Amino acid sequence: MPIDASRAFVPVRIAVLTVSDTRGLAEDRSGDTLVARVEGAGHALADRAIVRDDIDTIVARLNQWIDDAAIDCIITTGGTGVTGRDVTPEAVERIATKLIPGFGELFRWQSYAKIGTSTIQSRATACVARGTYVFALPGSTGAVKDGWDGILAEQLDSRHRPCNFVELMPRLLER
């Protein structure tokens, strides 16, 4: 979809959360990939962290960032599979004000073109939580690239037409 060059670019303040029991910052290639894309697009990296695959730990970090007025959006990577330790979607559901089901649907549709039926193992999801966007991507670098390049790069660009998530940000807390 087109970018309207007559519109002003509005940088989004994005926090990146890696969910993993095995990675530290030195091994966090998917987090590095996501940070590079966020900053390369002109957005601000508001914070970055790695937490273990524990629902209460994930929820606590998400709530901390949701309550921080300096963060507009959170993107997680990891913990979206179907194993017993994969609990990121459940954490997102706990903090969600409104789910955005189309995000996961679109992610899997795009992923299907690349990895076929293996995409069914992804539980990528998204929500609005008390006025903050939260997007949960799988933990592979390929999935991060697919989620950012195929969806988030456009939807987090205020110039994207016909509509985008950024233009809705001032209205997320409306009643």
Residue labelled with tokens 């679109």: 106
Degrees, nearest 5: CA angle 52-31-7: 130
127-150 average pLDDT score: 97
Degrees, nearest 5: CA angle 169-102-107: 105
CB atoms within 10 A of CB 159: 17
Residue 23 has pLDDT above 90, yes or no: no
Cβ-based burial of 72 (10 A; exposed 0-12, middle 13-18, buried ≥19): buried
10-28 average pLDDT score: 95
87-99 average pLDDT score: 98
- The percent of residues above 90 in pLDDT, for the chain, comes to 96
- The percent of residues above 70 in pLDDT, for the chain, comes to 99
| pLDDT for position 131 | 98
| pLDDT for position 2 | 87
Tell me the per-residue pLDDT of 24-77, one tens digit each, with 9 for 90 and over.
Answer: 889 999 999 999 999 999 999 999 999 999 999 999 999 999 999 999 999 999
Question: 1: pLDDT confidence band, cut at 50, 70 and 90?
Answer: low
